[in-house]
Amino acid sequence: AVSLRAALPVLLLAASSRSPDAPPPAPSAVVTPEVTPTPDKPRTLVPADFATLKLGARIAGSDATGRFASDGQVLAEVESYVACPEGITACDPKAQPAGTVYTYVHRLTPGKATASATLFRTARPAAGFANGVGFDNAQAAAALGPDGKIDVAADNGALVWRVIGGDGWKAGEPITFYWQSTLPPAGANDAYMVESDGSVAIGSGPFPAKK
């Protein structure tokens, strides 16, 4: 056994080897685990009837037509425009105050090659979304039948109109969809998507600039 008298000089030497002014030893680095964000779950939205909207003038140059094609087959055709709020007779976004709500309108008609279209959506997050969204109820009833229903949801910022029930959304049966944004369009972009008979196609229409 080592006596306390023998060990004392060694302890004193170790204590005197560090200057009183020297900083204390740095603590060992702490590794923070990387957190992976969980994608938002789809959020159900309450659609309004497009026929009840009162809109102002359209933005000049916002009228556009587009096609959704897959493997050479036209799944659907769309006619779009963007309008200012009611009472505005000349819709120039540069002359409107910040926060003005613009209504994006899309009249979608399944193509001749379509047996049954099932979905229309934005292909990316709807920038400036102002929580206004819906479709033309009368057109939907005529296209889908009395048991038809369209479920509307926000999925990680994108807007989705999904056909559920009914006798199918067939070729030549138009339905008008709309959504509202506090941002004006930045021209026509490949920012919309249609799903039909298991095929998916991207199409063009007016859309806000990416944030």
Determine the Cα–Cα distance for residues 180 and 92; give it in Å rounded to an integer.
Answer: 16
Burial status of residue 125 (CB atoms within 10 A of its CB: 0-12, 13-18, 19 or more): middle
Q: Residue 140: how many CB atoms within 10 A of its CB?
A: 26
Is the torsion defined by CA of 39, 187, 60, 91 positive or negative? Answer: positive
Q: In whole numbers, what is the pLDDT of the chain averaged over residues?
A: 86
Give tens-digit pLDDT for 60-102: 999 999 999 998 899 999 999 999 999 999 999 999 999 999 9
Cα(90)–Cα(83) distance, integer angstroms: 10
CA torsion angle for 66, 72, 74, 79 (degrees, to 10)? 0
Distance between CA 170 and CA 65 in Å, rounded? 20
- The CA-atom distances, in angstroms, between 172 and each of 74, 144, 166, 189 are 12, 12, 16, 24
Separation of CA 210 from chain center: 11
How far apart, in whole angstroms, are the C-alpha atoms of residue 143 and residue 62?
27
pLDDT in tens, the chain (211 residues): 444 444 434 433 344 444 445 555 555 544 444 544 445 678 999 999 999 999 999 999 999 999 999 988 999 999 999 999 999 999 999 999 999 999 999 999 999 877 899 999 999 999 999 999 999 999 999 999 988 999 999 999 999 999 998 999 999 999 999 999 999 999 999 999 999 988 999 999 999 987 6
87: left (phi over 0), alpha (psi -120 to 50) or beta: left
